[in-house]
Amino acid sequence: MNEVQRGKLVLKILNKTYPKISVPLKSRNVFTLLISVLLSAQCTDVNVNNVTKNIYPKYYKPHHFKKLGRKKIEKLIKKIGIFRVKAKSIYNLSKLLIENHNSKVPKTFEDLEKLPGVGHKTASVVMSQGFSHPAFAVDTHIHRLAQRWGFTNGKSVIQTETDLKKIFPKKNWNKLHLQIIFYGREFCKARMCYGLTCKICTSCYPDRKKPLITKKA
């Protein structure tokens, strides 16, 4: 089975397994989506949602967080990992959005990635889920599964993103990004399967006998 055939098979299985998907991070608008994605670094979506459900009803615009200041933001998100660093980024990006973007979240990768605490992955999620722009954010699950399914060598997350974009049609990227994450969390976990037991791995590589050791993101 070649790469193209594996790609079609993966799409078929994922569409059957997850015909309908919902964005896991809860948000009130594009700005709060940006904040939630920033908070999700080294933190589960569940934990982020548990924290932000008490924040977003009252604070949901850049000027809200600018007015709060770093220390108060820290108190609001203290249950989240590296909260001091994230509070600093939230405060500074809120200021920049007010000063440079009329309090609106920019709609380009270039401008998003200039914001404090916003890397390519965060920008990709915002472009995809916030603006419905085709993007393929690669997290640890996608990086791992793309290697197990033979789509990339795992050299880097950027390489994985490039390789996946070559295989899958642009129209599928936004949904597929979430489908792979859900599948990785449920069926092809980091300390399970190892390329040997889940439906996609066994379908793509039925003759694989040894665990596949993947490179970390």
| pLDDT tens string 2-55 | 999 999 999 999 999 999 999 999 999 999 999 999 999 989 999 999 999 999
pTM above the 0.85 mark? yes
Q: What is the DSSP letter of 54?
A: T
Q: What pLDDT digit, counting tens, does each position of 36-48 carry?
A: 999 999 899 999 9
Residue in 14, 13, 6 with CA at minimum distance from that of residue 205: 6
**Residue ranges per domain, the chain?**
3-21+136-204, 30-131
Q: 30-131: CATH homologous superfamily?
A: Hypothetical protein; domain 2 (1.10.340.30)
Is the pLDDT at 217 greater than 90, yes or no? no
- Stretch 48-69: mean pLDDT, rounded? 98
Distance (Å, whole) CA 74 – CA 79: 9
Summary mean pLDDT of the chain:
97
Distance (Å, whole) CA 134 – CA 215: 26
Task: List C-alpha distances in Å: 34 to 68, 117, 141, 182.
Answer: 18, 10, 20, 20
What pLDDT, on a 0 to 100 scale, did the predictor assign at position 121?
95
- What class has domain 3-21+136-204? mainly alpha
